Amino acid sequence: MRPRAPMPPIVVRFRRFTSLNTRIRLREGQITVSLSDLLEGAPESVIRAIAHILLAKLYKKPIDAGHNLRYKRFSSSAAVTRQTELIRGARGSKRFFGPEGRFYHLEEVFDTLNARFFGGMLGRPELTWSEGMAKRALGHYDAAHNTIVVSRVFDRPSSPRYAIEYLLYHEMLHLKHPVKMRGVRRCVHSREFKAEERLFPQLKEAQAFIKRL
Ligand SMILES: [Zn+2]
């Protein structure tokens, strides 16, 4: 990348990040690299790919497609994804606001849906309302913390019951259908997922309500 420049001293540290973080910086002639300790046991070819990507970023050079693909394949592999989630679960702390809202109780809605659509077979994860009135992230299932978070915009009288039921039903389908890998892509809403989602009776009304939000 810089064939005529002298090689600066390089310090590499593995740190206890909660994800596959990598950082590089050049300060006072020294390059400092911080890598997640999840990468400590990575294959040599992956470490090389990371080195290339970080140096290319630092020196604003194009990133080699082969290296990029190698790193993406590694970081999205099932084993690494699972390990990252376990570590996030153990290390990350998360604010928790609880399932009891002013109008709806998430556990009650969950139990109703569980009996109606899943034969009561889904284990109940942590359920919590979001901190604020999030309109971009209406709901999500966080596998690392086994928690479903629902936006508080659904906890008011103008929000029909079928809307929160649909939202929770969607997140419950994520519990039932874990993310699949298709090559380097994460397939979140598989064909089976979508087919099952269509079983929700007020699907159209609920989606229209969410669109209006
Ligand atoms: Zn989804």
Give residue 111 CA to ligand 1 midpoint distance, Å: 20
Specify whether 54 is located in the same domain as 128: no
State yes or no: pLDDT of 93 exceeds 60.
no
Give residue 207 CA to ligand 1 midpoint distance, Å: 13
Specify whether 51 is located in the same domain as 126: no
What is the residue range of 145's domain?
106-212
pTM of the model: 0.56
Give residue 208 CA to ligand 1 midpoint distance, Å: 16
Average pLDDT in the 147-171 region?
A: 93
Q: Is residue 36 part of a domain?
A: yes
Query: What is the number of other CB atoms lying within 10 angstroms of the CB of residue 184?
Result: 14
Q: Is residue 121 part of a domain?
A: yes
What pLDDT shows up at residue 136? 67
Give residue 136 CA to ligand 1 midpoint distance, Å: 13
Query: What total of structural domains would you count in the chain?
Result: 2
Specify whether 84 is located in the same domain as 128: no
Quickly state the pLDDT bin for 21 (edges 50, 70, 90). confident
Give residue 172 CA to ligand 1 midpoint distance, Å: 9
Specify whether 205 is located in the same domain as 113: yes
Among 66, 91, 116, where does a domain finish? Answer: 91
State yes or no: pLDDT of 169 exceeds 90.
yes
Whole-number Å distance between alpha carbons of 18 and 39:
12
Among 91, 119, 147, where does a domain finish? Answer: 91
Give residue 188 CA to ligand 1 midpoint distance, Å: 7
Q: What is the dihedral of CA 42, 45, 46, 47, to 10 degrees?
A: 80
State yes or no: pLDDT of 197 exceeds 90.
yes
Q: Is residue 59 part of a domain?
A: yes
What pLDDT shows up at residue 22? 85
Q: Element (H or E) spanning 110, and its range? A: helix 106-117
Give residue 166 CA to ligand 1 midpoint distance, Å: 11
Give residue 26 CA to ligand 1 midpoint distance, Å: 40
Average pLDDT in the 28-40 region?
A: 86
Give residue 183 CA to ligand 1 midpoint distance, Å: 20
Q: Is residue 131 part of a domain?
A: yes
Regarding beta strands 185-187 and 126-129, do their DSSP bridges make them parallel or antiparallel, or are they unpaired?
unpaired
Write the DSSP string, 112-165: HHHHHHSTT-SPP-EEEE-SS--SS--EEEETTTTEEEE-GGGSSTTS-HHHHH
Residues 6+ away with beta carbon under 8 Å from 127: 99, 106, 107, 110, 147, 148, 150
CATH code: domain of residue 201:
3.30.2010.10
Give residue 170 CA to ligand 1 midpoint distance, Å: 6
Number of H helices, E strands in the chain: 7, 8
Whole-number Å distance between alpha carbons of 154 and 82:
31
Average pLDDT in the 74-92 region?
A: 72
Quickly state the pLDDT bin for 50 (edges 50, 70, 90). very high
Give residue 92 CA to ligand 1 midpoint distance, Å: 22
Buried b (16+ CB within 10 A) or exposed e, 112-147: ebbeebeeeebeebbbbbbeeebeeebbbbbbbbeb
Specify whether 72 is located in the same domain as 128: no
- CA 136 to mean position of chain CA atoms: 15
Give residue 194 CA to ligand 1 midpoint distance, Å: 10
- DSSP code of residue 41: T
Give residue 114 CA to ligand 1 midpoint distance, Å: 17
Q: Is residue 115 part of a domain?
A: yes
What pLDDT shows up at residue 163? 95
What would the pLDDT profile of 109-131 be if each residue is shown by its tens digit? Answer: 999 999 999 999 988 888 999 87
Average pLDDT in the 12-21 region?
A: 78
